[in-house]
Amino acid sequence: MSKGSYVIDAHPDASSNALPTAVEAMLRLDHPIKTKATRWAAEALATDDLIERDRRSEFWVEGWRRCADFGVQGATVDPAHGGRGMDTAEALLLFEGLGYGSPDQGLVFGVACQTWAVIAALEAGGSPEQLQALLPGMCAGDIIGAFAMTELESGSDTYALSTTATEIDGGYRLDGRKAYVTLAPVADVVIMFATVDPALGRWGITAFVVETDRPGVDIDLGREKMGLRTTPFGDVLLDGVEVPETAILGKVGSGGAIFNAAMESERAFLFALQLGQLERQLDDAVAYARQRRQFGRPIGDFQAVAHRIADMKARHEKARLLLYKTALQRSLRQPASLSAALTKLAATEGAIASGLDAVMIMGARGYLTEGGVERELRSAVGGAIYSGTSDIQRNIIARLLGVGA
């Protein structure tokens, strides 16, 4: 792919209002942005060594650059900062297309994390100087950003974090350890959450922009994982890391609000990838069930197989409608926390269930590493853990309905 010759952009027919795009996306499966992204990803992100890279947990730098050249990293970013200026629904269609077309699910997951968590956090709290320093480089693929909230002892209980930010002359000193941080081993910069005073609870939590080459930052690369292996994660160790006051994202004590803004964005939109994947798995399953014959007839004639396919369709539609409802609510500036949690639950649990159905329908062929079906099932499991586990999503949903603790 030559740089700039084949890129994605806001749909020329789309108005500045996200509403028509989101409604259109709900009603049809072939929006031009999605179709273009699907075709591009199937071609540009396919490599012969994917199985080997997955085995080695190897990040594909060239793939990251190709995504940037196509416009993925800059999809949601204002053109003034080097982005494509897509509205949310258009960006969702782009990621849906990547989820359908990209054989390398780990790579596009990494790009989605940067878009829906890192860039969302920067846009929620970043100063003009911070945005100018980071966004153009991220859009161009030159700067990779990670988002670090989780710690070994504070996972679901995020606000119990113990990383500290101690005020020093002209800035802060950071000490602690962040765990399971997606892209950390390859990141140039990390959005880091620390407390200025544990006694203040969530009101002491503050976000910092920390470059990974600062003295005292160390990345522990030694964490192998079940799926999404081509985007690595790792722990970030902070040992007396000194940062200037200008490294604060937002204000002292606004870290909780920034974290929530990023998580709502991630819960609502990162799972557009799963949507594309659910649709492709469905298309592949239908094609396979029509062509594979046993007992003298296509296996799709057997109700057991046909019902698996019907369930796959139901899961895909449920996740799709919820995702676009959330996009509509956000574009109308309506509260979207309930829809975001429902979307995350439907998309991630759907991806696990349909990933397993896809393997079962294909029998031993689905179980083979070479087909990639088992890789998608392994990767799908992570979705039910990151951005808040399925149990935590159910807690959020119950709480918003007025029940639960």
Ligand X SMILES: Cc1cc2nc3c(=O)[nH]c(=O)nc-3n(C[C@H](O)[C@H](O)[C@H](O)COP(=O)(O)OP(=O)(O)OC[C@H]3O[C@@H](n4cnc5c(N)ncnc54)[C@H](O)[C@@H]3O)c2cc1C
Residue 118 or 358 with smaller CB distance to ligand X = 118
Q: How far apart are CA 368 and CA 55, in angstroms?
A: 14
Q: Does 389 bind ligand X (CB under 6 A)?
A: yes
Cβ 289 to ligand X shortest distance, Å: 31
Count of residues near ligand X by CB under 6 A: 20
Of the candidate residues 98, 181, 210, 327, the single one contacting ligand X (CB under 6 A): 181
Q: Are 59 and 185 in contact (CB under 8 A)?
A: yes
Q: How far apart are CA 53 and CA 361, in angstroms?
A: 26
Cβ 181 to ligand X shortest distance, Å: 5
Q: Does 212 bind ligand X (CB under 6 A)?
A: no
Residue 150 or 329 with smaller CB distance to ligand X = 150
Cβ 390 to ligand X shortest distance, Å: 7
| Per-residue contact flags (x/-) with ligand X for residues 55 to 94, judged by CB under 6 A | ----------------------------------------
Please choose, out of 249-257, 350-358, 361-369, 384-392, the segment that lies near ligand X by the rule CB under 6 A. Answer: 384-392
Of the candidate residues 39, 49, 56, 156, the single one contacting ligand X (CB under 6 A): 156
* Tokens 């649709």 found at: 279
Q: Does 233 bind ligand X (CB under 6 A)?
A: yes
Which position among 123, 264, 266, 279 bears the catalytic label? 266
Q: Does 147 bind ligand X (CB under 6 A)?
A: yes
Cβ 70 to ligand X shortest distance, Å: 23
Residue 149 or 275 with smaller CB distance to ligand X = 149
Question: Which pair of tokens denotes residue 69?
Answer: 């050249």
Cβ 148 to ligand X shortest distance, Å: 5
Of the candidate residues 73, 182, 254, 326, the single one contacting ligand X (CB under 6 A): 182
Q: Does 148 bind ligand X (CB under 6 A)?
A: yes
Q: Does 382 bind ligand X (CB under 6 A)?
A: yes
Of the candidate residues 386, 393, 396, 397, the single one contacting ligand X (CB under 6 A): 386
Scan residues 108-127 and list those touching ligand X (CB under 6 A): 113
3-class SS string, the chain:
CCCCCCCCCCCCCCCCCCHHHHHHHHHCCCCHHHHHHHHHHHHHCCCCCHHHHHHHCCCCHHHHHHHHHHCCCCCCCCHHHCCCCCCHHHHHHHHHHHHHHCCCHHHHHHHHHHHHHHHHHHHHHCCHHHHHHHHHHHHHCCCCEEEECCCCCCCCCHHHCCCEEEEECCEEEEEEEEEEEECHHHCCEEEEEEECCHHHHHHHEEEEEEECCCCCEEEECCCCCCCCCCCCEEEEEEEEEEEEHHHEECCCCCHHHHHHHHHHHHHHHCCHHHHHHHHHHHHHHHHHHHHCEECCEEHHHCHHHHHHHHHHHHHHHHHHHHHHHHHHHHHCCCCCHHHHHHHHHHHHHHHHHHHHHHHHHHCHHHHCHHHCHHHHHHHHHHHCCCCCCHHHHHHHHHHHCCCCC
Residue 355 or 382 with smaller CB distance to ligand X = 382
Cβ-closest position to ligand X: 155
Q: Are 11 and 21 in contact (CB under 8 A)?
A: yes
Cβ 396 to ligand X shortest distance, Å: 10
Q: Does 228 bind ligand X (CB under 6 A)?
A: yes
Question: Which pair of tokens denotes residue 98?
Answer: 């990547």
Q: Does 334 bind ligand X (CB under 6 A)?
A: no
Of the candidate residues 150, 326, 339, 348, the single one contacting ligand X (CB under 6 A): 150
Of the candidate residues 47, 132, 166, 395, the single one contacting ligand X (CB under 6 A): 395
Is 266 catalytic? The answer is yes
Binding interface with ligand X (CB under 6 A): 113, 147-150, 155-156, 180-182, 228, 233, 382, 385-386, 388-389, 391-392, 395
Q: Which residues are catalytic?
A: 266
